[in-house]
Amino acid sequence: MIATMDKRAVKTLFDTFWSPAGWKNDRTQPSAEDFAHAKAHGVMFDPLSTTHDEAIERARNAASGFTIPRLP
């Protein structure tokens, strides 16, 4: 079964990052109310700032949870 996305939340996401010309270079932030609504529906998240080393560590930790199946 496919879940239906909340239309307002998706509109907020697209209006923030996309325009008829493609990806936006200058992202105007949605209102606090629209952002909270989109966050509540799981389509937007709080910004994350990280260093290169932190990003690599997070990627390694995430990758360590996977196993590669062996071919016969």
Cβ burial, residue 27 (10 Å; 0-12/13-18/19+) = exposed
Residues above pLDDT 90, as percent of the chain:
64
Is the pLDDT assigned to residue 2 strictly greater than 70? no
What's the pTM value of the predicted model, to 2 decimals?
0.65
pLDDT in tens, 48-62: 899 999 999 999 999
Half-sphere exposure (CA, 13 Å, Cβ side) for 18?
6
Give the tens place of pLDDT for each residue, 16-46.
999 888 998 887 899 999 999 999 999 999 9
